[in-house]
Structure 1
Amino acid sequence: MESPTTAATVPVEAADPATLRRVITAASLGTLFEWYDFYLYGSLAVFFGGLFFPKGNETAQLLASLATFGAGFGVRPLGAIVFGHVGDLVGRKYSFLITMATMGLSTALIGLLPTYEQVGLWATFLLVLLRLLQGLALGGEYGGAATYVAEHVPDSKRGYYTSYIQTTATLGFFLSMGIIGTTRVLMGEEFFRSSGWRVPFLLSFILLAVSLYIRLKMSESPLFSRLKSSGKTSKNPLKESFANPLNRKYVLLALFGATAGQGVVWYTGQFYALTFLQSALKLDWKTAYILVSIALAIATPLFIFFGWLSDRIGRKRIMLAGCVLGALTYVPIFMAMKHFTNPQGLPAADPAQVNHFMMVVLLTVQMVYVCMVYGPIAAFLVELFPTRVRYTSMSLPYHLGNGWFGGFLPLIATAVTTSTWAQTTFGEGALYTGLIYPIVVCIITVIVGGLFIHETKDHKLETHIQT
């Protein structure tokens, strides 16, 4: 699964332990802050519809808000192409700095936007524009972080070390919920809804300064530096990644045999579960945030565990097992969530009837699936592609799987659940019809990945010099 061209390979020794710690800390902290920026909107999507979209139908407002959330995911593949090209052509560090500045500024500016009541559709337009800039930046971030760390670490521990990056998406989401929840409590619900919601976004100015300082102190990865000094970097990463039939084959296999399933499992467990609690089960936001936060805190170390385990038993079997478990158990899990939260379907869930312990258990089980599919994915993707086009080649399938298959999941699932078809066909069971989408995608991933992708854990990352 290496370069389709003939190549001489030059081994590159892994960095010393102190350097590895600095590399992982720098890449992970910067990425964590970017995920925090990106997920602020997602955490507030339930009531953002009333701030930036025409008033009237609450369901339409929610769907519009989720559509804007999904728009950021929709442009992530474009960001992957643009910044992946820059990263393979010029360098990983340079691309890092651009994505960080773009993300930080676009997020902070959301905190300064006027609302729909103040400027009408201009508010909607500006929100969507900034959300698209966020998506572009994030599209270039993850592939760079994963590639950068993977090109520093020993081959035998690549799953373990890159799994630290995998924690940043969940920690960023966790951080966004924590700051939003704290702000809402300290400022009061009424003030938060009117203007206090701006505070978490404006904090991005501070995070941007910290992140840029961290990124500026980073040096280029040793594999890319050696490739560049030899004059053998790709002259056209896009062409080599997608015009070459063999490399294009692996891009498609990575998408349909790994990242599509990983994306829907991730967003079912962390985002759709939160939306389901608040919108479908009518649980108050504070309780929903606390329950999801506890489950996140319990499960987050498992990202590192499954990354470590993938160095021993392989990436593929762990990731596909997570997809299989999701496909088999999502419906009973969500039915149990209703049973333990709002069994009678009341307009608002009765706090006295909520079984908090069982809800944490059910949410944590979903988080375990997330850790299984996401913990090993960075190591898996970097091992599929050669150094000269690694950033570009791995970024596109990752962001198609997560940005399109995963990012649009809350919108698709909510739209299906509230559709006339679901309501008339399934009655009360329509509540669970949104799960059809992640289950089908998981099944496709298991079939494609199981039949057509070979294990990658024993692949060596070396500098490939075309001959």
Structure 2
Amino acid sequence: MSEIAAAPGARSTHHQPSAKEIRLVIAASSAGTVFEWYDFFIYGTLAALIGKAFFPADNETLQLLLVWAGFAVGFGFRPLGAILFGFLGDKLGRKYTFLVTVTLMGVATAGVGLVPGAATIGLLAPAIVILLRILQGLALGGEYGGAAIYVAEHAPPEKRGFYTSFIQASVVGGFVLSIIVVIACRTFIPEDAFNAWGWRVPFLLSLILLGISLWMRLKLSESPVFKAMKEAGEMAGNPFVESFTYPGNKKRIFVALFGITGVLTTIWYTAFFSGLSFLKGPMRVDAATSEWIMLIAGGISMSFYLVVGKWSDRVGRKLPIVVGAALSLVLLFPIFWGIGALANPGLAASARSEPVVVSGDGCTYDPFASVQATECGRVLSDLTALGVSYDVAPGEGATVVTAGSDVLSVDILEGASGKAAFQAALEAKGYDFSPQHPPLANLIGIVALVCALGMLSALTYGSVAALLAEMFPPQIRYSSMSIPYHIGAGYLGGFLPLIAGYIVATTGNAYAGLWYTWGIVAFGLLVAWWGIRGGPPRDFEDSGEAPPVSPATP
């Protein structure tokens, strides 16, 4: 194979990027990634308010699940975006493709902030929001591959892991930025006004971020590897088709999907999205306090990705991923148990000393039903909304609810007033449903535990951009790495909040949703151990997997 078509770090023979140019490449690509992920994550950060505006329902759990379903829809369209923009990126160039993706993302995000609520335009409101989420998913499907490849193809091979790790850190940066903007808006906008209309401001701010991102990215030149391939006539004829016909690529795509993306995406969303939802929801920690916890922990965690990326330049890409996945299997549940004990110790103590058990006819709970069919189902619905863990015991006849050794009256469960009375009965047994403000020592402990989750994420994510760029041939790299990455991130990760929320709702156990993450990571660890090549980092052409390349047919 010619020198020109080789290696993510290869250079065109007529231009070697200077140190200044590489710094601009990293800065512009990372900033654009921060802004684009900010646009995507602001939806999840404001999930509760979005639910009230666009997905109103009498069932609070159903309302939140509908929000997460909308979140998942955006992720579901990421693979289609990967196919579309991967094709364009391999045919037309890296630079112009991710200019299009960031523009589409910014416009779609601002649109969410302009959609009237369901109270004004009815079902048209959620329909428009879902359409805008689809556009966001398409844009995001093209963004990551473009930014990661663009940096990888500028970076010297010995620093590729470190340079591309800024892209991974930028994903966390987008999450952190979304929280910063929400906190700032809460600070300057009165609470009632923020709940009514102020939550729209973070969405509209995406237009400013879009302008900054476009300004930075327009300063960039095309990737030297892409320019060299184009000049040499070694472009792919159909990047999408060739991604599945190139020798050995099916195995590489399988490994990229399950052994790399499946692991990193479920750990990432569990660490940050499930972490935030867990604090605000079952643990009932004050919303502002929860956001500050995730802001501090996320800000600290960003540095972990850079450390892991640099480490992978010495030890290879496989070791950090395998270590991170194995540690996640061991530590995931203990870390969340620790967060729960520190965030709401009273709730944890009450659950141990006064466990709730429910029995009766038709004692099942359907989270997607607006109204439960049976009295026992309504009890489970109320317990789920309150974040109270419960067990269901076999029983027939009237519904019976016990807390510890005492039987709670169930003739008060009809309507909102009945739910309030039921809550009062549980409070009398020691359950605390007030907004929690943990003491400083507990807050420090929670931040430390979320940082531990951030480290697990960094181990499985920090070196991934370099690894994926090195796994696939340059002619079809954009398509080949984007397709498995966004299928994995779109379905295994994007549906995580919905699936985990459903598991929690149907089991009555605030920690049960973690089993979804655990199962995906366990399978991914086996695939990563089998399929990722070990040893020092190697370019695609140096791996012994690259057959000779024929120029594309005109």
**Coarse TM-score class (shorter-chain normalised):** over 0.9
The 1:18–1:119 alpha-carbon spacing in structure 2 relative to 1, beyond 3 Å, is same
Alpha-carbon contact 2:343-2:438 (below 8 Å) kept: no
The 1:387–1:60 alpha-carbon spacing in structure 2 relative to 1, beyond 3 Å, is same
Residue 433 (structure 2) aligns with: 347
The 1-side partners of 2:305 and 2:532 are apart by 22
Q: How does 1:193-208 map to 2 (within 5 A)?
A: 193-208=195-210
Per-residue deviation at 1:466? 2.5
Q: How does 1:65-464 map to 2 (within 5 A)?
A: 65-244=67-246, 246-345=248-347, 346-351=432-437, 355-419=442-506, 422-423=507-508, 430-455=509-534, 457-460=536-539
The 1:405–1:128 alpha-carbon spacing in structure 2 relative to 1, beyond 3 Å, is same
Per-residue deviation at 1:47? 2.8
The 2-side partners of 1:348 and 1:258 are apart by 41
Q: How does 1:8-87 map to 2 (within 5 A)?
A: 8-10=2-4, 12-13=10-11, 15-87=17-89
The 2-side partners of 1:453 and 1:215 are apart by 33
Alpha-carbon contact 1:342-1:353 (below 8 Å) kept: no
- Cα RMSD, aligned residues only: 1.6
The 2-side partners of 1:130 and 1:35 are apart by 15
The 2-side partners of 1:128 and 1:456 are apart by 44
- Structure 1 segments, 4+ long, off by >4 Å, are 461-465
Per-residue deviation at 1:353? 5.8
The 2-side partners of 1:97 and 1:19 are apart by 18
Per-residue deviation at 1:396? 1.2
Q: Which amino acid aligns with 1:447?
A: L
Residue 424 (structure 2) aligns with: none
The 2-side partners of 1:452 and 1:196 are apart by 48
Alpha-carbon contact 2:90-2:477 (below 8 Å) kept: yes
The 2-side partners of 1:352 and 1:224 are apart by 53
The 1-side partners of 2:444 and 2:217 are apart by 41
Percentage identity across paired residues of the two chains: 43
Runs of 5+ unmatched residues, structure 2: 348-431
Alpha-carbon contact 1:23-1:149 (below 8 Å) kept: yes
Per-residue deviation at 1:215? 1.8
Moved more, 247-256 or 303-312: 247-256
Q: TM-score, normalised by structure 1?
A: 0.94
Q: Which amino acid aligns with 1:132?
A: I
Q: Residue 50 of structure 2 aligns to a residue in which SS? A: helix
What are the Cα deviations for residues 294-342 of structure 1, in whole angstroms up to 9, with x where unaligned? Answer: 1112221111110000000111110121111111111111111111111
Alpha-carbon contact 2:284-2:434 (below 8 Å) kept: yes
The 2-side partners of 1:245 and 1:347 are apart by 59
The 2-side partners of 1:364 and 1:382 are apart by 28
The 2-side partners of 1:208 and 1:409 are apart by 28
Residue 4 (structure 1) aligns with: none
Q: Residue 512 of structure 2 aligns to a residue in which SS? A: helix
The 2-side partners of 1:452 and 1:270 are apart by 28
Moved more, 7-16 or 211-220: 7-16
Alpha-carbon contact 2:286-2:436 (below 8 Å) kept: no
Per-residue deviation at 1:348? 2.8
The 2-side partners of 1:245 and 1:311 are apart by 27
Per-residue deviation at 1:372? 1.0
Per-residue deviation at 1:54? 3.1
Runs of 5+ unmatched residues, structure 1: 1-6, 424-429
